[in-house]
């Protein structure tokens, strides 16, 4: 499901009403901004943040250039886009690196925010960058917390340092010594969380901070909690002076309140987002890309990065050759697996300009994936190779053989043709319409 689809749909509905308008009046601009403000508040954006946002956007929208513009929709969208980018921090904030290893990242947050899992995800990401990473288990209170860190550490191929359930400050100190001894580039410290913020929690984290002088203090917050996440971030920041925020559970249709409010309230950047349950489901946070996705304008750069991770150069060359000689259902199965690695077809389409509204009816769900495989596997080798030959009687036989309906088979054939159309637009690295002439560094 595309990120913040609820807010995105409301904003697009607002802007679409301007499509056939000529020049706008001040009154019309005020009405548009009022509707944008309501959409932000319904998405659980902080009241003061939404108010300031609309004030700034309204001032820009009331200028002579906008009032006289013959393309009011594009002009208003640009203003809102610029303000969203500014609201979320203008540019991507990279992790700081210590002058002398190990670089220490101290992770903190409330229990249930996904902090321990995020320790593993961050470790896996840094491992991909060629870093030697060690994890330190300083959550000695939550049942099985140490075991959980060991499990995610194993998945991330990162060593976990633990001394059991003793003083967390002592564990942190000795973890730093161990990281130095083993020439680790990065040490990630998993601190204890609580069900709510309390003095004991803050005192312990402060003591760990004083003991190891972390390069960064990263606060992990659950984006699904909306304004509660913002309040948690504000409290932790005032106590610890965090250097950045990691938003978890950003993969559903949750409200955009946390993502759009945290920077404005705390002054600290969002550095990463968790966008799924798998170890690789972590993305650097780019305000410009996030704004583009919220406004339904796609996110080509993130799509490129996902494709590069999911599709090897060798496979890309093979697929380019297939497009030239004839793309068939055997290739479609291969591409389905690649799309699954990239997050699913709906997520991919949401990143392509102009295609976020394409109706694929949950085609990335596991059940739909299995149903699609069953239909393709019920085809004869010749039918897979030449889909155009599949007529009424054959469709009936394929439906019976796969335990589906003729409508399911028809739908798949329609999706197949749509997929071929998309991929042909990418052939040779060309962007589909709306991609502003950008070129992909890979070829399908």
Placement of tokens 């002009």 in the chain: 75
Which pLDDT score is estimated for 424? 63
Average pLDDT over residues 348-369: 55
Quick check: helix, strand or coil at residue 188?
strand
Which pLDDT score is estimated for 328? 83
Whether 103-297 and 301-429 share one fold: the answer is no
Q: What is the pLDDT of residues 375-404, one digit of tens each?
A: 999 999 999 988 888 988 999 999 999 999
The yes-or-no verdict on residue 83 having pLDDT over 60 is yes
Query: How many Cβ atoms are within 10 Å of 281's Cβ, its own excluded?
Result: 17
Phi–psi pair at 221, nearest 5 degrees: -130, 150
Q: Which DSSP string corresponds to 257-309? A: HHHHHHHHHH---EEEEE-SSSTT-EEE--HHHHHHHHTT---HHHHHHHHHH
Burial state string for 2-24 with b = 16 or more CB within 10 A and e = fewer than 16: bbbbebbbbbbebbeebeeeeeb
8 A C-beta contact, residue 33 and residue 57: yes
Pick the CATH number of 103-297 from 3.40.50.300, 3.20.20.70, 3.10.180.10, 4.10.780.10: 3.40.50.300
Rounded distance, CA 43 to CA 205, Å? 32
Q: Distances from the Cα of 380 to the Cαs of 46, 95, 394, 404, 420, in angstroms?
A: 57, 52, 10, 16, 20
Q: Distances from the Cα of 49 to the Cαs of 79, 272, 290, in angstroms?
A: 16, 21, 17
Placement of tokens 């291969």 in the chain: 334
Given pLDDT bands bounded at 50, 70 and 90, which one contains residue 439?
very low
pTM above 0.75, yes or no: no
Question: For the chain, what percentages of helix, strand and coil (3-state, to nearest 5) are there?
Answer: 55, 10, 35
Given pLDDT bands bounded at 50, 70 and 90, which one contains residue 61?
confident
Contacts of 102 (CB under 8 A, 6+ apart): 134, 176, 179, 180, 184, 185, 186, 187
Rounded distance, CA 302 to CA 304, Å? 5
More confident residue, 377 or 313: 377
5-87 is classed in which CATH architecture? Up-down Bundle (1.20)
Mean pLDDT of all residues belonging to the chain: 81
Q: Specify the DSSP class assigned to residue 387.
A: G
Q: What is the pLDDT of residues 237-277, one digit of tens each?
A: 998 999 999 988 876 555 677 888 888 888 899 999 888 78
Average pLDDT over residues 158-169: 93
Segment among 97-101, 164-168, 248-252, 377-381 with least mean pLDDT:
248-252
301-429 is classed in which CATH architecture? Orthogonal Bundle (1.10)
Question: What are the structural domain ranges in the chain?
Answer: 5-87, 103-297, 301-429
Q: Which DSSP string corresponds to 26-76? A: HHHHHHHHHHHHHHHHHTT--HHHHHHHHHHHHHHHTSHHHHT-S-HHHHH
The tokens for 306 are 């996902």
């Amino acid at each position: 499901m595309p990120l913040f689809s609820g807010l995105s749909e409301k904003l697009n509905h607002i802007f679409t009403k301007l499509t056939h308008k000529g020049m706008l009046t001040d009154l019309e601009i005020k009405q548009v901004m009022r509707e944008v403000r309501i959409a932000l508040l319904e998405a659980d954006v902080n009241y003061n943040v939404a108010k300031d946002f609309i004030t700034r956007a309204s001032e820009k929208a009331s200028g002579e250039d906008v009032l006289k513009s013959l393309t009011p929709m594009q002009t208003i969208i640009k203003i809102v886009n610029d303000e969203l980018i500014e609201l979320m921090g203008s540019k991507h904030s990279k992790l700081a690196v210590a002058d002398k290893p190990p670089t220490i990242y101290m992770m903190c947050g409330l229990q249930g925010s996904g902090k321990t899992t995020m320790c593993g995800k961050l470790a896996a990401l840094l491992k991909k960058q060629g870093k030697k990473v060690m994890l330190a288990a300083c959550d000695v209170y939550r049942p099985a917390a140490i075991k959980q860190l060991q499990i995610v550490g194993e998945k991330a191929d990162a060593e976990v340092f633990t001394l059991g359930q003793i003083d967390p400050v002592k564990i942190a100190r000795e973890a730093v010594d161990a990281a130095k001894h083993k020439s680790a580039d990065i040490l990630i410290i998993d601190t204890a969380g609580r069900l709510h913020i309390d003095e004991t929690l803050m005192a312990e984290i402060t003591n760990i901070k004083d003991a190891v002088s972390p390069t960064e203090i990263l606060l992990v917050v659950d984006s699904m909690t909306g304004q509660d996440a913002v309040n948690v971030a504000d409290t932790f920041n005032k106590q610890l002076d965090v250097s950045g925020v990691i938003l978890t559970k950003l993969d559903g249709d949750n409200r955009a309140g946390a993502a759009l409010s945290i920077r404005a309230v705390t002054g600290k950047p969002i550095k990463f987002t968790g966008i799924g349950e798998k170890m690789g489901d972590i993305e650097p946070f780019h305000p410009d890309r996030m704004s583009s996705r919220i406004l339904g304008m796609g996110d080509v750069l993130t799509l490129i990065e996902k494709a590069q991770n999911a599709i090897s150069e060798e496979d890309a060359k093979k697929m380019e050759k297939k497009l030239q000689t004839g793309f068939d259902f055997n290739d479609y199965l291969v591409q389905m697996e690649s799309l699954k690695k990239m997050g699913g077809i709906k997520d991919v389409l949401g990143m392509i300009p102009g295609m976020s509204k394409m109706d694929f009816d949950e085609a990335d769900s596991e059940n739909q994936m299995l149903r699609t495989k069953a239909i393709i596997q019920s085809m004869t080798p010749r039918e897979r190779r030449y889909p155009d030959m599949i007529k009424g009687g054959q469709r009936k036989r394929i439906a019976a053989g796969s335990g589906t309906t003729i409508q399911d088979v028809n739908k798949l054939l329609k999706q197949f043709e749509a997929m071929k159309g998309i991929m042909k637009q990418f052939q040779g690295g060309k962007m589909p319409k709306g991609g502003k002439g950008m070129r992909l560094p890979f070829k399908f």
